[in-house]
Structure 1
Amino acid sequence: MFRTIKSDIQAARERDPAARSSLEILLTYSGVHAVILHRLAHAICRKHIPLLPRIISHLSRFVTGIEIHPAAVIGQGFFIDHGMGVVVGETAEIGDHVTLYQGVTLGGTGNERGKRHPTLGNHVIVGAGAKVLGGIVVGHHVRIGANAVVLKTIPDHSTVVGIPGKVIHRRSEEGDLDHVKMRDPIADQFEALEIKILALKREVHEKQGQNKPSQKLEQTSGDKEPD
């Protein structure tokens, strides 16, 4: 467990440009605190000790604002950035080197029993406010945009945005998923829209410029007195 916690701290250091040291992360990062407490609660839960894991989980939610069910299975190198409002359900499974941002929910879609929460593959990034719901599978190297609502299984190396979530791009297996370097798909869409608006403005301006000589000629003809 201590080796896994060390990988969680290292993940925070690698993925958060604001991180200064491992000690700072250990003392001040609520996301790391929530993950450490979950690792403890999960270890106790696996020994089938009743009540205590839920008490630890409840205290963790009170202190960090992050709710992770003790039975949720989480791989190494897990990082919750900013963290407030994150919810991870009982049957959720999270692979290695996954990053969640604030307000993310890995939840269910009803009162069904059994596997009712999502499974996330390795190297997945879930943007702020996104909801991944139901017993679906999110593949490896997937990026989910902010506020997306994902209700269906997502293939590997995909970028997902929108409500409901739709795959807008698929990368090759060699594609990099460095969240610091990768562009935001939502920002890309706004940038493309801005370019289209500028092009339309330029087109309108050019047409107005072409019409001015004829308008001036008509005005001159109209002002000319008849013989």
Structure 2
Amino acid sequence: MFATAKAIQRRDPAAHSLLEVLLTYSGLHALSWHRLSHWLYQQHFYLVASLSAHLAKKVTGIEIHPGAQIGQQLFIDHGAGVVIGETAIVGDNVTILHGVTLGSRHATKGRRHPKVGNNVLIGAYAQILGPITIHDNAKIGAGAVVLTNVAAGHTAVGVPAQPQPQRSTKIVQLAQN
């Protein structure tokens, strides 16, 4: 968790110190609690895992099902209202802003939640629903409702989201001038 805290400090310009991140970042606290709940879930202590996750939700405002698989150095920034479902898979170096849902669309057995690749940015209040894949280096815009796969390096915006290739900053700046 120390490596995750250091990664958060590097990625968040508002972080003044590592101690501040360790003591005050609810996303880091929720992730720490999830590691315990997930271990309990893997040992088939489902009730204890669920109680642990429930307590974490009450304390942090972030709901991560104990069955969810979370990679390294997840940064949940201003995490209030984040929900990560049971069969969700989140890769490494992912940033999730407040109000995001990684949820399901159908009450079926098997994988029902999204798989999020590495180095993905998910904007505030985005809803990523169903057994879809958000591939590496993708970006999901704030408020997007994503119902289909998003290719590597693409950006998805809108309701429902329409994935588009990411444009470089230089091209965007030239287009605005």
Counterpart for residue 153 of structure 1: 149
Question: Which of 4, 8, 14 does residue 8 from structure 1 map onto?
Answer: 4
Quote the sequence identity (%).
48
Tell me the amino acid that sits aligned with residue 160 of structure 1: A
TM-score, structure 2 normalization:
0.93
Q: Deviations over 1:42-63 (max 9, x none)?
A: 1121111231111110001101
Deviates more, 1:90-99 or 1:23-32: 23-32
Once the two structures are superposed, the pairs formed by residues 1-227 of structure 1 within 5 Å of their partners are 5-170=1-166
| Separation in structure 2 between the aligned mates of residue 28 and residue 110 of structure 1, nearest angstrom | 36
Tell me the amino acid that sits aligned with residue 77 of structure 1: Q
Q: Deviations over 1:4-41 (max 9, x none)?
A: x1222122101111111121111111111101100111
| Separation in structure 2 between the aligned mates of residue 40 and residue 86 of structure 1, nearest angstrom | 18
Structure with the larger helix share: 1
| Separation in structure 2 between the aligned mates of residue 30 and residue 152 of structure 1, nearest angstrom | 30
**Number of residues paired by the alignment?**
174
| Separation in structure 1 between the aligned mates of residue 22 and residue 166 of structure 2, nearest angstrom | 35
| Separation in structure 1 between the aligned mates of residue 81 and residue 96 of structure 2, nearest angstrom | 11
Indicate the RMSD between aligned Cα atoms, in angstroms: 1.8
Tell me the amino acid that sits aligned with residue 82 of structure 2: V
| Separation in structure 2 between the aligned mates of residue 78 and residue 15 of structure 1, nearest angstrom | 11
SS in 2 for 1:20: coil
SS in 2 for 1:51: helix
Structure with the larger strand share: 2
| Separation in structure 2 between the aligned mates of residue 94 and residue 39 of structure 1, nearest angstrom | 13
SS in 1 for 2:164: strand
For CA contacts below 8 A with separation 6 or more, give which structure has more relative contact order: 2
Q: Deviations over 1:202-226 (max 9, x none)?
A: xxxxxxxxxxxxxxxxxxxxxxxxx
Where in structure 2 are there 5+ consecutive unaligned residues? none
SS in 1 for 2:46: coil
Tell me the amino acid that sits aligned with residue 110 of structure 1: H
Ranges of 4+ aligned residues in structure 1 off by more than 2 Å:
168-171
